[in-house]
Amino acid sequence: MRKNICLLLAVCCSFSAFAQKQQDYPIQPVPFTSVKLADHFWNSRIETNRTATIPASFTRCESTGRVKNFQMAAARSGKFCTTYPFDDTDIYKTIEGASYSLAVHPDKQLDHYLDSIITIVGKAQEPDGYLYTARTIDPIHPQAWAGPERWVNEQNMSHELYNAGHMYEAAAAHFMATGKRNFLNIALKNADLLVRTFGPGKRTVAPGHEIVEMGLVRLYRISGKKEYLDLAKFFIDARGHKEYNKKSKNPFENGVYWQDDTPVTNQDEAEGHAVRAMYLYSGMTDVAALTGDKEYIAAIDKIWDNMVSQKLYVQGSIGAVGDGERFGGNYELPNTTAYNETCAAIGNVFWNQRMFLLHGDSKYIDLLEKTLYNGLISGVGLDGKSFFYTNAMQIRDSFTHPDIERERSGWFTCSCCPTNIVRLIPSIPGYMYAQNGKDVYVNLFISGSANLKVAEKELKITQQNNYPWDGGLVFNIDPASAMDMNLKIRIPGWAQDKAIPSDLYSYEKPSAQKIEIKVNGKAVDYQMDHGYAVISKKWKKNDRVELTLPMDVQRVIANEKLADDNGKIAIQRGPIMYCAEWKDNAGKPSSFIIPKDVVFTPSYNADLLNGVITLKADVKSVNVDEANQNVSTVTSTLTAIPYYSWANRGKGEMTVWFPEQVKYVDLLSK
Amino acid sequence: MRKNICLLLAVCCSFSAFAQKQQDYPIQPVPFTSVKLADHFWNSRIETNRTATIPASFTRCESTGRVKNFQMAAARSGKFCTTYPFDDTDIYKTIEGASYSLAVHPDKQLDHYLDSIITIVGKAQEPDGYLYTARTIDPIHPQAWAGPERWVNEQNMSHELYNAGHMYEAAAAHFMATGKRNFLNIALKNADLLVRTFGPGKRTVAPGHEIVEMGLVRLYRISGKKEYLDLAKFFIDARGHKEYNKKSKNPFENGVYWQDDTPVTNQDEAEGHAVRAMYLYSGMTDVAALTGDKEYIAAIDKIWDNMVSQKLYVQGSIGAVGDGERFGGNYELPNTTAYNETCAAIGNVFWNQRMFLLHGDSKYIDLLEKTLYNGLISGVGLDGKSFFYTNAMQIRDSFTHPDIERERSGWFTCSCCPTNIVRLIPSIPGYMYAQNGKDVYVNLFISGSANLKVAEKELKITQQNNYPWDGGLVFNIDPASAMDMNLKIRIPGWAQDKAIPSDLYSYEKPSAQKIEIKVNGKAVDYQMDHGYAVISKKWKKNDRVELTLPMDVQRVIANEKLADDNGKIAIQRGPIMYCAEWKDNAGKPSSFIIPKDVVFTPSYNADLLNGVITLKADVKSVNVDEANQNVSTVTSTLTAIPYYSWANRGKGEMTVWFPEQVKYVDLLSK
């Protein structure tokens, strides 16, 4: 594993100010603070997040009593006034998102507001570093989930370490974005309490809802204090040693819900609560990178393969089962009851970024891109103030399920997803580029410019494109002076006829268009390396790279083991998965049959859904004449929109998968 | 409550040889040994049970190792060789069924075989009375569910008291049928051990799978030993005192699965594992009758109302949910995933018979009849050797669920249902008549004769009818000499336009035919009392009563809260619920639309399914032309068969509910 020196602020995964020469990810991300976007698709989302989502989130933290909980804890008096002890984390996550925002968009008022909130948080902290409002407000009568004493309910209910983990993530982001230590010091004091409390010969627990592991790694990167890294590993290794009823199929009884059924190095399947799983695997990847632990790497590689080849929805969502918010069994990917928590998609982005930094393979970014452009941003409405907790695959008038949302809400009693969106959206520029010495990775195609240093020399990369709609991409490579550099541009799996890097989904036929790369107007030969087109040359000022990706409309077919998708097709164009919604399809998007010879016509519509390419095709649909009780087949126009944009125009039916031919109909009387 | 003296063998519920003047059910059943059937519908089933089911069941008890378990326990050596510790009960239940059979159909060979099995059972019993092969074979390494010591796993896993309860039921039946005490003595010795072990100041447990309560009552009726009755009540009262996680919705975590979440006198909803529930409620009814406990009666009345008005399928099945084999929530009666364990239907017959004996209302027999003629006997194939564990409401080619059976099996690893059928079928004559002094109840309409005593005088009642196909019923009332007697003939709810005694289902319009009763050829006025037509007169030799019940084909509609049945209809004629099966309907029974003005033509077909009335109607159906991908509405003939007779001609689609009109179609590609 190569050692790497990185002195830049590294928000997404690494911050190695102290960390010269130590073992770490061989690849380091270019921090989002070095990237300035000028992108139609993402700028509007990030700006909406800044102007609408962040303020709304703070307003809700205040109006729902989340801030009051901290004030009461500061006063050591009152009664915990929200529902869950982990409600504290909504404040942390909003501070984290606001910090990312501040770093690229200075805002004194917001900066002061954060400081005022951080002051309250600091006062809620007990003298020894403990910070958990559900107990500190009234330690004699803590909130029910908190348990009678510190830590005793951690596995099942209290979320004390979950709160700590989110606090560390937020404090690290705030420190890196602002340079201020006020929140960081609170976090370090709390982490020191954990170090005194947990570890060999001290208290042991397998954290009930993982994230403290990632958070401790983040504090380790800032502080260089090895105890934090050791404790992260201790918590990970604590899993799988509790007595469960191994015969039970109930994930609460057999420990699978918490990924606690067996030690992590024995785990080989993505299982249990999907968000917890993503945070655990992310933490394991961090610790593996920092320690070189080969058993961890073997385990997460197996788990990733399992997830991708058996438990991933076609639009990148995970966590099929509502009961337990968890992964289903292998190939258990039902459509009408798909749960797909937004937080799980966000966790999947965290994990895949780490897997890429560890292995340098584009397949992880392929999945990250699929998730990001589809099943993740579907979780927030175009207004930035309405959210999906679940992300449906199919909405039918004839079928309701209590778990499955049909329209977005402003906030939830358990409001993890909205505040996770708050922190994810402004961090997106940090996922675009990465570097390993003279290897520069271009992972995402988003217009704007990035400032890197390659062998101490300045390098500016500018993208000008209209992704994800247009496959013609331009990269301006502008070194301060001529330099040797290996430009590694990700060639997406979908452009190479791989729907995702597994056999779970595939395209019916190859793209008609070909991939082409030109440098300064001339076609070049390039090497492919782990999914990247590598262009090695001495780069000069204003070199121009053009990449053409095929933008055919693709018919996606599913592995036959996916019972709900058998005989059906999904529609993809570039990285975007499509769906059909009631609004464009006379209320009944599921009445269409999409035959093999379908021809879709793409057209950009600037006024629709903040600007989208729609796909239209004239196909057969099955019509019900209610008055005469006649059912017949007619030809009509199917209009598909990007999946991420559904449910922004009221509620009604939506479907991602369409029958290729009809063998049978189910008569519904309501 | 009236006291009653009954010296007859009373198999179904009471055996009161000792019990003069003590508190008991006000109504006593006429034992099945006093009834001789000559009925086309039932004789063939009972004869098949005798000649096919009982021998096949014993053969399977031997071939699967169930008998070997007893032999090894007798030898105190070996290794438990079947799957579940409750596999012992399959032998007990088959002995019970064989005993009923012996009582009406003497068979020396069978009698000797029973004795030989009972000898082995006796040798498997430990000196202090303990009888449980899963431990006795090897107490150091008992079968895993058995637990390391006696009784410690009873609540969750061991089924030690469940085995005891079935043993008592079987031993009582064997004693009553044969007069032999060999099995009874084994049972009494075991019951005495329970009395020494459990009770106030001794060990306490809420039996994990109820039935020991009913079994102890049965032994109490035979022996008069009040400790057995007291212990039955002790076990019932032990429920609801364990610490569970009351907030959990998981029925294993909150105790609902075992009916252990709250004391029984607080229970007001049919909940948890459906078979356990039926056995508990039956035991409570027995104890209530024998002790006059008003709190028990209040509880079971509420639970019965809940079950009937919110948790009962239209064909009499209960236990909607496969996960936990349990009752769903109120109005949770899905069709495609209906579980409907055969044992739960049998338990429901037990309970309703007891509720009738307690309250004297025909509504309990209405439900008993609905269950018996539909969702219970569907559990056994016409060959007597193939069984359903579950009883589906709808089978679709396009939908499979691992829990839902499409065809019957010869035996199951957990083979409770086949052996419960073995014991239920030959006991049916015992459900026909009951008596309370001079009130004689006629509950079921089955051809044959019964010998009763009314005020010490002999009375013979003979039924000659073709029920359930023909509504013209004839009862020959033949006292040894003229006698005053109140003949109470059940007028079924369905004949009075009550689909069942609740608003869960109703008929669309009243029957065109009227109920008519004649005595010796002359129409008589009669009083209705609790659902019974009461004819009070001085009866003379060869009096003849004729009752005409309407046999209109009825369209049944469901309460709108039943989501899966909204806008649909079911078909009923007399007590028989109908379904449409693939075989008679070009493979697609669910393609039909049954409009309000449908006219069904009934016709008896002697060669079909052992003789059934089919219902035919020309209606619209939706046809899929696969080759041309055209969907259209055509007119075709729907043929419906009795629900109980489905799945006797291979496997394919089946449906009970039909859309009344189509508002929407679901396109299926497989």
ipTM attached to this prediction: 0.71
**Which of B250, B595, B630 has its CB closest to that of A252?**
B250
pLDDT at B103: 86
Percent of chain B past pLDDT 70, that is, above it, reads 97
Find the range with the poorest average confidence among A226-230, B406-410, B537-541: B406-410
Residues of chain B by 3-state class (helix, strand, coil), percent to 5? 40, 20, 40
In one letter, which amino acid is B456?
A: E
The number of beta carbons lying within 10 Å of the beta carbon of residue A387 is 23
What are B288's two structure tokens? 């209530």
For an interface test with A, give the residue of B244, B596, B631 to mutate (most A CBs within 10 A).
B631
**Residue B624 to residue A665, Cβ atoms within 8 A:** yes
Give φ, ψ of B54 to 5 degrees. -65, -50
**Residue B670 to residue A663, Cβ atoms within 8 A:** yes
* Of A6, A343, A416, A579, catalytic: A416
A633 CB neighbours in chain B (<8 A) are 629-632
For tokens 């099955």, what's the residue? A622
Restricting to B residues 223-252, those with a Cβ less than 8 Å away from any Cβ of A are 250, 252
Instruction: Confirm whether A416 is a catalytic residue.
Output: yes
**Per-residue CA distances from A512 to A496, A550, B669 (Å):** 11, 8, 28
Are residues B435 and B28 in contact, defined by beta-carbon separation less than 8 angstroms?
Answer: yes
**Residue A631 to residue B665, Cβ atoms within 8 A:** yes
Give φ, ψ of A531 to 5 degrees. 90, 0
Chain segment B295-348, per-residue pLDDT in tens: 999 999 999 999 999 999 999 999 999 989 999 999 999 999 999 999 999 999
Restricting to A residues 400-419, those with a Cβ less than 8 Å away from any Cβ of B are 400
Residues in Cβ contact with B192 at an 8 Å cutoff, skipping those fewer than 6 apart: B129
The stretch B200-229 carries a mean pLDDT of 97
The average confidence (pLDDT) of chain B is 93
Find the range with the poorest average confidence among A372-376, B192-196, B252-256, B392-396: B252-256
Range B16-53 burial, b when 16+ CB lie within 10 A, else e? beebeeeebbbbbbbbbbbbebebbbbeebbbbbbebb
What are B145's two structure tokens? 């569910």
**Residue B665 to residue A567, Cβ atoms within 8 A:** no
pLDDT at B9: 34
**Residue B670 to residue A620, Cβ atoms within 8 A:** no
**Residue B670 to residue A662, Cβ atoms within 8 A:** no
B660 CB neighbours in chain A (<8 A) are 669
pLDDT band at B11 (very low <50, low <70, confident <90, very high): very low
Please report which residue ranges of A20-152 form alpha helices under DSSP H.
40-48, 54-63, 66-75, 88-104, 108-124, 133-136
Residues in Cβ contact with B224 at an 8 Å cutoff, skipping those fewer than 6 apart: B18, B19
Under CATH, which architecture does the A439-490+514-548 domain have? Sandwich (2.60)
Would you list the DSSP string of B142-156? Answer: --GGG-SSTTTTIII
Residue ranges for chain A with pLDDT beneath 70: 1-21, 670
* H/E run at residue B404: none
Would you list the DSSP string of A276-288? Answer: HHHHHHHHHHHHH
Determine contact: B398 vs chain A, CB below 8 A: yes
Residues of chain A by 3-state class (helix, strand, coil), percent to 5? 40, 20, 40
User: Prior bond to A468 cis, omega within 30?
Assistant: yes
Res B17 pLDDT > 60: no
Chain segment B227-265, per-residue pLDDT in tens: 999 999 999 999 999 888 887 888 888 999 999 999 999
Determine contact: A599 vs chain B, CB below 8 A: no
Instruction: Confirm whether B416 is a catalytic residue.
Output: yes
What kind of fold does domain B433-548 have according to CATH? Maltose phosphorylase, domain 3 (2.60.420)
* Of B271, B325, B341, B369, catalytic: B325
**Residue B566 to residue A662, Cβ atoms within 8 A:** no
CA gap A369, A494 in Å, rounded: 11
CA distance A205 to chain B (A): 21
CA distance B650 to chain A (A): 21
Where exactly are the structural domains of chain A? 1-26+37-231, 439-490+514-548, 553-659
CA gap A205, A234 in Å, rounded: 9
CA distance A629 to chain B (A): 6
pLDDT band at B664 (very low <50, low <70, confident <90, very high): confident
pLDDT at A583: 96
Give φ, ψ of A547 to 5 degrees. -125, 130
pLDDT at A370: 97
CA distance A333 to chain B (A): 14
Chain segment B28-38, per-residue pLDDT in tens: 999 988 999 99
CA gap B135, B148 in Å, rounded: 9
The stretch B594-614 carries a mean pLDDT of 96
Res B3 pLDDT > 50: no
pLDDT at B8: 31
**Residue B632 to residue A629, Cβ atoms within 8 A:** no
**Which of A591, A631, A660 has its CB closest to that of B632?**
A631
Determine contact: A583 vs chain B, CB below 8 A: no
For tokens 């099942």, what's the residue? A156
Determine contact: B668 vs chain A, CB below 8 A: yes
B563 CB neighbours in chain A (<8 A) are 400
For an interface test with A, give the residue of B256, B397, B562, B670 to mutate (most A CBs within 10 A).
B670
Strands, DSSP E only, in A116-250?
A: none
Taken in order B627, B630, B636, B639, the sign of the CA dihedral is positive
pLDDT at A33: 85
CA gap B270, B277 in Å, rounded: 7
CA distance A244 to chain B (A): 14
Angle at which helices B182-197 and B212-223 pack, to 10 degrees? Answer: 110
CA distance A323 to chain B (A): 10
A140: left (phi over 0), alpha (psi -120 to 50) or beta: alpha
CA gap A377, A645 in Å, rounded: 8
**Residue A667 to residue B660, Cβ atoms within 8 A:** no
CA gap A420, A171 in Å, rounded: 15
For an interface test with A, give the residue of B155, B257, B666 to mutate (most A CBs within 10 A).
B666
Are residues A344 and A279 in contact, defined by beta-carbon separation less than 8 angstroms?
Answer: no
